[in-house]
Amino acid sequence: MNTIQTQVAIIGAGPSGLLLGQLLNKQGISNIIVERATGDYVLGRIRAGILETGFANLCREAGAGERMDAEGEVHQGFLVSIEGKETRIDLSDLTGGKAVMCYGQVEITRDLMDLRQAGDLPTYYESSNVEVSNPEGAKPGLSFEHNGESYQVECDFIAGCDGFHGVSRKSIPAEIITEHERVYPFGWLGVLSETPPVDDELIYCKHERGFALCSMRSQTRSRYYLQVPLTDKVEDWSDDAFWDELKKRIPPKAAERLVTGPSIEKSIAPLRSFVCEPMQYRNLFLVGDAAHIVPPTGAKGLNLAASDVDALSKVLQRFYETGDRSVLEKYSPMALARVWHGERFSWWMTNMLHQFPDLGVDGLDPETFDRFMRSQAEYYLGTEHGRRMIAEQYVGLPYSSLD
Ligand code: RFL
Ligand code: PHB
């Protein structure tokens, strides 16, 4: 048995775990990361593309902003197309100059990984049987297996950054937490291709055939999504079928410009709203997707993970400076205040832009729900104050402060 002593044991080397590790390290707080998968597997998951300014700033603070600033693209607005009628949300104009950064989750994860490796910070990829012990005690621990050897970690705190299916949330006694969940009756089929994006800005489309999103990773790499039934399988969708369906759902002018090509990644993600309250059990803290999930329509998942990381790193820094344990209780309320805003915005955008086939939603029959959503889109997209409300939330609400 190998024994490791550290201040903070982090489970999961996704963006939450890596960013937290980096910020803690900058504050002189020792940490290790234990990850189930290989680094390549983590980098193979094509997910987020849009970073709020708060997240971009946090990456810079962590020392991981250089490539993002050189290669990422600042987006000052995006388009919403409802049945072909386009409205631009001018983020900059509506928010006094704010914008978002278009830079892939894969790239920021790679930058954080490189930084961790350069700092020689302990990271155990391909670990199995990761188990949390004694989270309520003064000396919590973590055990795991790695390269055929057993490890026992003795630490002050555990940060559960292990995503929705991880072990950390399951280590909290059921009676302590309340889980709020909504599963949507459809998924997103995503395609990544080495083709120039169809537009300079993202286009969110509502169409009678379902939602579509035109996004990008660079001037030569595009990311597109289609709303599909949960029963669909990736194998059901040839590249040609994907492009044909996309052309039907996006504005006609965009469809004419669309450059198609072979997919280099294709996957289906289910859509879910989920919050676990509280996000803390004594010395165990839940961070990012381990505590909450949003449907990707508002581009908020990774950005909420970043504000959790910001809150936890501030709380831990204050604790190690003062020894005052009462500050630890601030993490969950601080993080959740922002999480619920992101959950509501993502749910609201999802309802407005998707088709809800054959289903009554929120106790309404399908037709009434559809009318409400059309009215919502007309009102919010058709008025400046409505567009401002969307813009303010899309660029990101302010982070919670510790004091
Ligand atoms: P992750 O990325 O899931 O990382 C968790 C890590 O924990 C590891 N793990 C374990 N390690 C050890 N032991 C165990 N027992 C473990 N169990 C799990 C996993 O292997 C993994 O490496 O969670 P994290 O770090 O909290 O990051 C969250 C983000 O990944 C997520 O919120 C975003 O990707 C959501 N999201 C988007 N967010 C945005 O802010 N903007 C977007 O534009 C955006 N687009 C998206 C998205 C998510 C999508 N999908 C596929 C769900 C688009 C899509 C399609
Ligand atoms: C993406 O580029 O993957 C992306 C962008 C915006 C979203 C969701 C996903 O709302």
Q: How far is CA 320 from CA 208, 225, 324, in A?
A: 55, 44, 8
Whether ligand 1 lies within 6 angstroms of the CB of 188 is answered as yes
What is the number of the ligand 2 atom nearest to the C-alpha of 102? Answer: 2
Q: Report residues whose beta carbon is within 6 angstroms of any ligand 2 atom.
A: 48-50, 202, 215, 223, 296-297, 299
Choosing from 151, 204, 281, 380, which is the catalytic residue? 204
Concerning whether 204 is annotated as a catalytic residue, the answer is yes
Per-domain residue ranges for the chain?
2-74+100-180+272-362
Choosing from 300, 314, 330, 354, which is the catalytic residue? 300
Whether ligand 1 lies within 6 angstroms of the CB of 24 is answered as no
What pLDDT was estimated at residue 360?
63
What pLDDT was estimated at residue 137?
86
Choosing from 151, 225, 394, 399, which is the catalytic residue? 394
Nearest-ligand number for the alpha carbon of 51:
1
Concerning whether 330 is annotated as a catalytic residue, the answer is no
3-state secondary structure of 45: coil
Nearest-ligand number for the alpha carbon of 301:
1
Angle CA(329)–CA(334)–CA(340) in degrees, nearest 5? 130
Q: Which residues of 182-214 are buried (b: 16+ CB within 10 A; e: fewer)?
A: eebebbbbbbbbebbbbbebbbbbbbeebbbbb
- Mean pLDDT per 10-residue segment, the chain (403 residues): 96 98 97 97 90 95 96 97 95 97 95 96 98 91 96 97 97 96 95 97 97 96 97 97 98 97 96 98 97 97 97 98 96 97 98 84 82 94 98 96 89
Q: What is the fold, at CATH topology level, of the domain defined by 2-74+100-180+272-362?
A: FAD/NAD(P)-binding domain (3.50.50)
Q: Which residue's alpha carbon is at the smallest distance from atom 10 of ligand 2? A: 299
